[in-house]
Amino acid sequence: MTSPKAETTPRRVEKTDEQWRAQLSPEEYAIARRGSTERAFSGRYYEHHEAGRYVCVCCGTPLFASQRKYESGSGWPSWWAPIREENLARRVDTSHGMRRVEVLCAACDAHLGHVFEDGPPPTGLRYCINSASLRFEPETGEAPG
């Protein structure tokens, strides 16, 4: 039987820089491990509408569901809420002369993107996420076992 704490806390994933470089493409590494950003309107999931979920490219932690994705017009895939708040971490980002809230994977600290308070109801949030930080898992139609 799984404890309630284990169900709400993603498992911690730690690897060396060499291990991350070996696992990820150069673009994925630059964005997820070094905090870079892909060009607007260039990400593989920007105009992606298939049913399923988006997981961390580094560790596979479930992050966002297609049902919460929307077209923000920002140039990056956007969601109004994550699958589970506990799967994300946040920190203040003051780079580029701005004050923003950076969003990271809670399990492995991968840089995902930023969250803004200009999204649609019901949350009013816009999770603006780099496609290179994600891997898509299509909905299979099977009940979870």
Which residues participate in catalysis according to the annotation?
A: 128
Mean pLDDT score of the chain? 91
Alpha-carbon radius of gyration of the chain = 15
Over pLDDT 70: what percentage of the chain? 90
The position carrying tokens 């950076």 is 102
What is the pTM for the complete model shown?
Answer: 0.88
Residues 51-73 have pLDDT tens digits of 999 999 999 999 999 999 999 99
Set out the domains of the chain in order of their start, with CATH numbers.
16-138 (2.170.150.20)
User: Tokens at residue 58, please?
Assistant: 């580094």
What percent of the chain is modeled with pLDDT above 90?
A: 83
Residue 94 confidence (pLDDT) = 82
Quick: pLDDT tens for 93-128: 888 888 999 999 999 999 999 999 999 999 999 999
Task: Supply the pLDDT for residue 4.
Answer: 42
Q: Give the model confidence (pLDDT) of 14-28 as tens digits.
A: 999 999 999 999 999
Strand order in the sheet with 126-129: 69-70, 78-79, 126-129, 111-116, 100-105, 88-93
Question: How far, in Å, CA of 33 to CA of 106, rounded?
Answer: 13
